Amino acid sequence: MNTAAIQQFLHERFGAAVGPVESARLFDYVEVDPSAVEEVALVLRDHPDLAFDCLNNLSGCDRPTRGRIQITYELFSYVHRHAFVMKVGARRDRPEVRTVERVWPAANWLEREIYDLLGVIFLGHSDLRRLLLPDDWVGYPLRKDYVEAPEYHGISTVRESALKLSERR
């Protein structure tokens, strides 16, 4: 099945929660409402005609102009050899999305990464901690309005010019 057929199938089931096919440079995609993510994901995985058994990638991107943090689910079916891209726009002021961890276990760490770098709360996630940055890190660095802290545990994050260092010597 191609993206258009999958979109039609989902639209018949979920109605307004599944948006129209949007064309993009690389993959056409479908916008899904944040509240319906888990149900849509379950159908995508379990319906025999779709059978998306593999979550290729799960990533996020901050879009301040739209007031959204966009989360992209890239799916692939080894049974039917077809792919599908689903996007979810979480509200920037209150970014909360249902987890798909119980649909695709691979989402566990990917969702933790998105939480770490963009601050999206995945409701129902079993272990929502930071994945890469230290636990005591302040802020979410991949947000466009992130301001770097001047120091971390007494280590300044600014490097003096080498010319100044040689002058002092």
Q: Which stretch binds another protein (CB under 8 A): 31-39, 49-57, 86-94, 147-155?
A: 147-155
If the CB atoms of residues 55 and 69 are measured against another protein, the closer one turns out to be 69
Q: Does 159 bind another protein (CB under 8 A)?
A: yes
Match 């995945």 to its residue by tokens. 122
Please tell me what DSSP assigns to residue 130. Answer: -
Residue 8 to residues 2, 34, 90, 141, Cα–Cα distance (Å)? 10, 19, 23, 37
Binding mask 79-118 for another protein (x = CB under 8 A): ----------------------------------------
Q: How many residues does the chain have?
A: 169
Distance CA 159, CA 37 (A): 44
Q: Which stretch binds another protein (CB under 8 A): 2-10, 21-29, 34-42, 149-157?
A: 149-157
Distance CA 133, CA 1 (A): 39
Q: Which stretch binds another protein (CB under 8 A): 18-26, 94-102, 104-112, 133-141?
A: 133-141
Name the nearest CA neighbour of 55 among 47, 45, 65: 45
Q: Whole-number minimum distance, CB 111 to another protein, in Å? A: 20
Q: Whole-number minimum distance, CB 162 to another protein, in Å? A: 7
Please give the angle made by the CA atoms of 146, 148 and 152, to the nearest 5 degrees.
Answer: 135
Q: Whole-number minimum distance, CB 137 to another protein, in Å? A: 8
Binding site for another protein (CB under 8 A): 132-134, 141, 146, 148, 152-153, 155-159, 162
